[in-house]
């Protein structure tokens, strides 16, 4: 999955510092930065470098990034991840709670407006 951002450093720092992903390399590659946690790999790319004919035209400022998409990340220990995010001071969009389908989750919005559901595994 690729996420496009207007601020590479801010986005990569969110995923590495708040959600404990690891970054390939020692410094942020401003052209494209893969980050990884377990089996999940996200590519972070600069929206400003997309071509004008790309679906995510960077000049369409009135469209919210990620609208209609919920990124679900399953974790082994939901309470540990929740406490990690809280201790980092990052705003939580929806608190940790048990859902009617039997899994616990909480919600975040990343620095670019992507909606994340962090959930326990089935």
> Listing from the earlier edge strand, what are the strands of the sheet with 115-120?
70-75, 115-120, 104-109, 94-98
> How much is the mean pLDDT over the chain?
89
pTM score of the predicted model: 0.81
Over the stretch 7-52, which tens digit does the pLDDT of each residue have? 999 999 999 999 999 998 889 999 999 999 998 999 999 988 877 7
Cβ–Cβ < 8 Å for 16, 35: yes
Based on its alpha-carbon atoms, the radius of gyration of the chain, rounded to whole angstroms, reads: 15
* C-alpha closest to that of 115 among 75, 59, 72: 72
């Amino acid at each position: 999955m690729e996420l496009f951002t207007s601020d590479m450093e801010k986005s990569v720092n969110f995923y590495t510092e708040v959600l404990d992903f690891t970054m390939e390399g020692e410094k942020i590659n401003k052209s494209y930065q893969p980050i990884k946690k377990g089996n999940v790999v996200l590519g972070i790319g600069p929206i400003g470098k997309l071509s004008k004919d790309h679906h995510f035209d960077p000049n369409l400022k009135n469209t919210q990034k990620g609208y209609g998409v919920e990124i679900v990340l399953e974790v082994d220990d939901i309470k540990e991840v929740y406490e990690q995010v809280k201790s980092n001071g990052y705003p939580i969009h929806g608190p940790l709670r048990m859902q009617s389908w039997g899994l616990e989750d909480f919600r975040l919005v990343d620095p670019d407006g992507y909606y994340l559901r962090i959930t326990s595994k089935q």
